[in-house]
Structure formats: C-alpha cells, structure tokens
Amino acid sequence: MVRNAGRVTRFVVMAVLQAARARSLGLSEESAFSWGLNRAVFYAAAKQGFGRKSPAGAQAPEATKGAPLRDVFRLGDDEAFRSPNFRELVFTIGGQDQTVEKFEQAIVSRFGTRENFRVAWEEVIRLVSGFDRATLDSPQGFYSEVYKPKRDELSDDWTQRFSPPPKSGRRARP
C-alpha cells in the first residue's frame, strides 16, 4: 500500500528532500529540482528491482545501457546522468529528462498550489541546512539520517496541510 496514495507520498518527500540536498550542495534551484526528481525515480526503480515501471515511468538506469562517462555528474559521493539535451544542468534516467516542468507535474502539483509548495520548500531547506556536509555528501548518510527519520512525518504533515483531498468518484448528495 502506498502511504497517502495520490497525495504527498514518500516518493514526493524523497524528491523534495533530494532537491533541498542538491540546493544545499550548490546546485541552482532548477537543477536541484531535476536532481530531486531524478533521485526519487532512481530509488523507486531500485526498490522495484528496475524491472517494472516506477511511479514516474523509469526503467533501468543508463549505466546498464552504456552511457558515456562524460555524462556522469557527481554530487558529493552520489552521481546521476546529465542530459545532453540541455545547456543547463538537467538530469536524465531511463531515457527521460527530469525537467523543472516534470518536477512541477509530479511533485509541486501534490501540494495543491505553488504557494503551498514554496512553504514546504522553505521548511525543508531549513531542515536540510541543519545537517553537516558529510551527511549531505553521502547517499547512505542522507538516506539514514535525513530521509528515513523524516519521511513519514513530512508525508503526513504536508498531506494534511497542503494536499487537496483525493477526488471521489461519487457526487455529494444535496
């Protein structure tokens, strides 16, 4: 079962936290959003064994497809593939570029409004800034010290405060 299905799920929390991590480590906001969605897709696909479709439609990472090393971007001890389709830093996974527009569709939309997302974004930027560089550089440290302890709290809080209730197939009775 997916926590807060259709609302602010763990996938959404991973994307936002990873974006805040990337922003804290020096990426522009736009590139950080691309990184956040990329990492959320990567971990969702890894959890599913890369064989089935993930929530964002990712397949096996490019490493298995022989992507050239020059397209690898390192952020701390983590890495992702850089899209050759953009001058600015945009990440790609499973042949899909993780653009700001895709971040808005998959992540920002879960908060109901852009203003709600901005409130949550500022909260998570403050949260991530409380961790040392070594924690943020390490994928394992970030997962175990930042994401895992906060994922359900953030999912529940953001769903309650910001996410519109799921649409029901039934009409309200007069």
For the chain, domain boundaries:
10-162
Q: Residues in the chain with pLDDT < 50?
A: 54, 57-64, 67-69, 171-174
User: Which pLDDT score is estimated for 163?
Assistant: 80
The tens digit of pLDDT for each residue in 58-103 reads 444 444 455 444 599 999 999 999 999 999 999 999 899 999 999 9
Q: How far is CA 86 from CA 83, 111, 157, in A?
A: 6, 27, 35
Q: How far is CA 3 from CA 7, 77, 120, 129, 155, in A?
A: 9, 29, 18, 26, 8
User: Which pLDDT score is estimated for 48?
Assistant: 83
User: Which pLDDT score is estimated for 64?
Assistant: 43
User: Which pLDDT score is estimated for 58?
Assistant: 46
